[in-house]
Structure 1
């Protein structure tokens, strides 16, 4: 940090993305201990933070590897030295992605774990095998299963068909994975984890019937992780746990003291029945779950609600503060807020201690 940079939160320009290092490290340690106690590997999803520094801390705390969403994220983390990477996405390998996947495989360290990618169709598996021709020993696939979120993924009883087709074209099928995204509801966390365990167990059986042993059985969102079936799963892939956010707060999973990432903003206008702050949709994102009570929360004013967003304005009700007041906003979906920022301002005990880049910002291809 240079002498010109602020060393007090009160001196930061707003809006700024602020990361509390103490809370971050505590969240990392808590999830690592949780997984270890249940005999589960932890492969955190780094699309949440997109930070090489944070991923290194997760691995140092015991994570077995990392999960990414895109080839471009994999490129950035591989270049930073990470070797155990899972692209948890049913890649459709066109010419551009084929060339980039091959470069990743060519650069993959000799003796390292194979690069893992997701498939959820026979066609996807065939294209993966063609893309990795001559480098298949550096690649393995996991078959994605729909466990109730109804996004991508095959029905569990069809996982064996996809796995057998993948084996027939020379791919190493390492196992199965799912994302229980329907856990994002106040009453859905436990039931989504139950769906996850049941469907993954069925998929493992389908692979076995096709002559394929599932070495990896991967699942787990942050809301459902607490209820994950350790008798079925071998690993968890939560992401948001490192920071927490307003969604986790409203799901009852986190209290204000758990939230490590916030946006520091300024009240720029005081109206009769609302305030306006300078953190709008270009900073907070616009995600709002069906259970959310607003577009984010105020860390120090839990009764306040963000009722509307435009690009550079947020409308806040149920709190009375004068113009010029500094406020601490908790985004609804922290993954979106991170992807909108260039860097984290890192603080410890209220003092600014440095800045970390959002290394994979915009790495969406």
Structure 2
């Protein structure tokens, strides 16, 4: 059955590159001796998670109970909610409904959260395997590694199950920061491990790290699993950080040139199609596949202004492949993606966990 080409803007996924990205990361994990537990918040797509599973990953990582519900319903039975969830009575009911169908791990960084879990889940709370979140330098959620002993003591007194520690080296998103952030990650997890072992938790400890930029620099002598997400698609941020090559970009937004002024053109994919992310180090709001010198210099809701080198300006009606800065947010704006194999439209995939933010 032939598929009709959609109107722009739309998300296009290159199946061959996607498969290669998944295979390359899985093989690297096998060779280096750590487990891969990819973060599916990047793609939110069941078909891609199944491809990752087939490549030999350990399980999946999600950010919310809502994402966990979608993937458990689809048959995934090993799920890590890598977030310090604060339970409400309704969230507790939703979480409880998952516990008989999947192994659920959750992030935690306070005794107060543990008390809330115990109060709302009662005797079901010990079925969750909690992972202590430590801050390795990103300074978001998580505790300092030296606080692990006190936290573990409080959680064990509540009768909760602790399976290890995790961290997120988000400060790897910066020029020259990839290797230092990986070193910070290893140092924090090594410290957390020593505190966990001192508390008597020595068997099969999980030490979980990971971001796509720091993946290649991870200290596999410390870390037992990694949780990259963006690697399946890659994006303009990864290009600028040097953590991927142009031929590793599997997702673009197809956009039509609608207006031209000099060497600046307007395409019909604005912030509502691309997402409006621009990190401080980024040289624009996105890039153009096939033209490394082009930059998106301005972005509004339905307009992207792209500046091209002289002599390389496209014409009205041309369809460009635009690489978004932050692919996770781009995918979350779409109901579905269009899958291409060697240039031919072969499938559509639903963004099944779109908007599942709680």
TM norm structure 1 = 0.95
Partner of 2:248: 258
| Equivalent residue in structure 1 for 2:123, among 114, 117, 134 | 134
Which residue, 2, 17, 21 being the options, matches 1:23? 17
Say yes or no: does 1:289 pair with 2:279: yes
- Counterpart selection for 2:355 from 341, 350, 362: 362
Trace 1:116-135 onto structure 2 (pairs within 5 A).
116-135=105-124
How far 1:116 moved relative to its partner?
0.2
Deviation at 1:48, TM superposition (A): 0.3
Instruction: Report the counterpart of residue 28 of structure 2 in structure 1.
Output: 34
User: RMSD value over aligned CA atoms?
Assistant: 1.2
**Stretches (4+) displaced over 3 A:** none
Secondary structure of residue in 2 paired with 1:135: helix
How far apart, in 1, do the equivalents of 2:314 and 2:61 lie? 42
Q: 2:209 aligns with which of 219, 229, 242?
A: 219
1:100 to 94, 97, 100: 94
State the distance in 1 between where 2:187 and 2:58 align: 24
1:134-177 C-alpha deviation (Å, 9 max, x unpaired): 22353110000000000000000101211221111111100000
Equivalent of residue 338 in structure 1, options 327, 331, 342? 331
Query: Residue 102 of structure 1 contacts residue 131 of structure 1 at CA under 8 Å; is this kept in 2?
Result: no
* Counterpart selection for 1:170 from 129, 153, 159: 159
Are the equivalent residues in 1 in contact too, given 2:136–2:169 (CA < 8 A)? yes
Secondary structure class of the residue paired with 1:264: strand
Tell me how many residue pairs correspond in the alignment: 354
| Alignment counterpart, residue 192 of structure 2, candidates 188, 191, 203 | 203
Q: Is the 8 A contact 1:101 1:131 kept in 2?
A: no
Q: Once the 2 structures are TM-superposed, how far is the Cα of residue 273 of structure 1 from its aligned partner?
A: 4.1
Give the CA deviation at 1:210.
2.3
Q: Is the Cα–Cα contact under 8 Å of residues 132 and 139 in structure 1 kept in the other structure?
A: no
Other-structure match for 1:181: 170
Q: Is 1:239 aligned to 2:229, yes or no?
A: yes
Q: Match of 2:82, SS?
A: strand
In 1: Cα distance, 2:182 partner to 2:242 partner? 16
Range that drifts further, 161-170 or 116-125: 161-170
- Aligned pairs for 1:43-62 (under 5 A) are 43-62=37-56
Residue 197 of structure 1 aligns to a residue whose secondary structure is: helix
- 1:163–1:212 contact (8 Å) kept in structure 2: no
User: 1:77 corresponds to which residue?
Assistant: 71
| Preserved contact between residue 186 and residue 223 of structure 2 (Cα < 8 Å) | yes
TM-score of the pair, normalised by structure 2: 0.96
Taking the aligned partners of 1:208 and 1:307, their CA distance within structure 2 comes to 51
Q: CA–CA distance in 1 between the matches of 2:6 and 2:288?
A: 18
For 1:175 and 1:335, locate their aligned partners in 2 and report how far apart those are by CA, in whole Å.
Answer: 27
Separation in 1 of the partners of 2:157 and 2:46?
Answer: 37
Shift of 1:247: 0.5
Matching residue of 1:115:
104
> 2:315 aligns to what?
322
- State how far apart, in whole Å, the 2-side matches of 1:154 and 1:161 are: 11
Conservation of the 8 A alpha-carbon contact between 2:117 and 2:125 = no
- Given that 2:127 and 2:161 are in contact with CA atoms closer than 8 Å, whether structure 1 keeps it comes out as no
The runs of 5 or more residues in structure 1 that have no matched partner are: none
Q: 1:156 aligns with which of 137, 145, 168?
A: 145
SS in 2 for 1:152: coil
